[in-house]
Amino acid sequence: MSNLKRELYRDPSRGKIAGVCAGLSDYFNMELWLVRIIVISAVLLTGGPLFVVAYIACWFILDKKDPSPDKVYKKETKEERAVEVKFKVWQAGEPPRRALQDLKEQLSRVDSRIQNMEKYVTSAEFTVSHEINKL
């Protein structure tokens, strides 16, 4: 677990109603579907008013999660995406086998890009353009 200070925000971009459950799933590092099931179960098993009032209070009290600066300026591509591995079923992230497949795909794309750069740098076209730029 990281030593970073976590703060509780609501995340309307991932939420269905106000993003309270999405914010809770981020804060506790749990799958979003599991948090929704827990909240719905709590509403149904306790009669509802307490948890409905608490949800509405969280809706107004919690700040919206600001989009990260990287996602504002550029879309995250599949090869730049960080792979998060989950070790327990309820944690957020990918199962280990899927994470390994994603890492293999990312490394193969990076390898092909490096090979293309090596081909260009060792080509005659690069040598000519390099000599012209020296003039």
The Cβ of residue 73 has, within 10 Å, a number of other Cβ atoms equal to 8
Same structural domain, 58 and 85: no
Same structural domain, 1 and 50: yes
Same structural domain, 82 and 60: no
> Does residue 69 have a pLDDT over 70?
no
| pLDDT band, very low/low/confident/very high, at 72 (cuts 50, 70, 90) | very low
Q: Which residues contact 131 (CB under 8 A, 6 or more apart)?
A: none
Q: What are phi and psi of 40, to 5 degrees?
A: -65, -40
| pLDDT band, very low/low/confident/very high, at 112 (cuts 50, 70, 90) | very high
Q: Which residues contact 65 (CB under 8 A, 6 or more apart)?
A: 9, 10, 11, 12, 13, 19, 23, 26
Residues 84-93 have pLDDT tens digits of 777 777 777 7
Helices 49-61 and 32-46: crossing angle in degrees, nearest 10, is 140
In the chain, the number of structural domains is 2
Domain's final residue, options 44, 66, 88:
66
Range of the domain at 14: 1-66
